[in-house]
Amino acid sequence: MRAYYLTDHNSPPSLSDIAVPEPAAGEIRLRIAACGLNFADLLMQTGTYQETPALPFTLGMEVSGTVDALGPDVDGFKPGDRVAVFGGKGGLADYGCFPASRAVHLPDSMGWVDAAAFQIAYGTSHVALDHRARLQPGETLLVLGAAGGVGLTAVEIGKLMGARVIACARGADKLAAAKTAGADHLIDASDADIRAEVKALGGADVVYDPVGGDQFQAAFRACRPEARILTIGFASGDVPQIKANHLLVKNLSVMGLYWGGYLGFRPDVLTGSLAQLMAWHAEGRIKPHVSHVLPLDRAAEGMELLRTRKSTGKVVVTLDA
């Protein structure tokens, strides 16, 4: 089968021909239909992601597809079932084996591309805003990187939860995408004074930050008393350092969110969140924004779109399913 395969952290992945895997105990094998790309895929290529698999491995963290085979001790699935899986790796291939415990059945209303673009981006934003920050109706939510894969879902979910949403992104096209997702106010990060503009709007009660760097510092200084700052990632490449005494002045809280980490200690948080998100999708209240859909032989192009920040929302790679 074809697989977008990484053998060396100092060399780029390549489209390779490898054996079709056999499912182990507790696993299902999928005929993969689509795979959503994530910034973490770029970090895995260099070995800098917090859960980079051992070499060699196939990239691709989240997939949709059809159950093709079952390993021993699998209940609740059968060949032909349509599912989505957050597997953490193995998605950019014709077939993949994944833990059945990580698979969810797809409603008829959800197609392959939407399903592959859904779990990580929407799951991250919903768990962050609802479970961690406890965002309340009427509060002001500042979303940095608001046109990215997770940023757009934060805008959409924040608005759905009743917040006033300030979206910060670079350029008119990306701000237009954030506006369509529901943003009430727009800030162009390429030339604006983020701190001044947010303060002029009354400050932020919750900050959603997948960017880090200077934007984190600006948002930090534009927070209202008792604000909550969510650190989602560091797309800027700059991990901000926080002086603890500065938290005291406004009674601020800074909290991290790694969505996949809940699989290890509170999987019920993810299960409940995905059930709510699937219901919202079925009701037409949320809809993944996918700017690029590419075939597997253009996976490298998809990764470059993420690296150069030329995509909005999600990039999805499709396979012949």
- Cβ atoms of residues 296 and 15 within 8 Å: yes
Q: Which residues of the chain have pLDDT under 70?
A: 321
274 within domain boundaries:
no
Reported pTM: 0.89
Q: Which residue has the tokens 């799951």?
A: 123
Q: Which residue has the tokens 């996949």?
A: 260
Looking at residue 271, its pLDDT comes to 86
Locate 199 and state its tokens: 């303060």
Looking at residue 132, its pLDDT comes to 97
Looking at residue 260, its pLDDT comes to 86
278 within domain boundaries:
no
Query: Do 127 and 109 fall into the same domain?
Result: no
Query: Do 301 and 313 fall into the same domain?
Result: yes
Q: How far is the C-alpha of 130 from the C-alpha of 158, rounded, in Å?
A: 9
Query: Do 105 and 160 fall into the same domain?
Result: no
Q: How far is the C-alpha of 43 from the C-alpha of 104, rounded, in Å?
A: 26
265 within domain boundaries:
no
- Cβ atoms of residues 230 and 154 within 8 Å: no
**DSSP-based three-state secondary structure for 68:** strand
Looking at residue 263, its pLDDT comes to 85
Looking at residue 55, its pLDDT comes to 94
279 within domain boundaries:
no
Query: Do 23 and 136 fall into the same domain?
Result: no
Query: Do 61 and 183 fall into the same domain?
Result: no
Query: Do 135 and 256 fall into the same domain?
Result: yes
273 within domain boundaries:
no
Query: Do 162 and 195 fall into the same domain?
Result: yes
Range of the domain at 66: 2-118+288-318
94 within domain boundaries:
yes
Query: Do 88 and 149 fall into the same domain?
Result: no
276 within domain boundaries:
no
Query: Do 131 and 57 fall into the same domain?
Result: no
Looking at residue 320, its pLDDT comes to 74
Query: Do 194 and 152 fall into the same domain?
Result: yes
- 160's CB contacts (< 8 A; 6+ apart) are 182, 280, 285, 286
Q: How far is the C-alpha of 302 from the C-alpha of 319, rounded, in Å?
A: 14
Q: In terms of DSSP H, where are the helices of 47-135?
A: 112-116, 119-126
Query: Do 130 and 250 fall into the same domain?
Result: yes
| Total of domains in the chain | 2
272 within domain boundaries:
no
Which of 217, 243, 260 is at the close of a domain? Answer: 260
Query: Do 43 and 155 fall into the same domain?
Result: no
The CATH number that applies at residue 292 is 3.90.180.10
Looking at residue 79, its pLDDT comes to 97
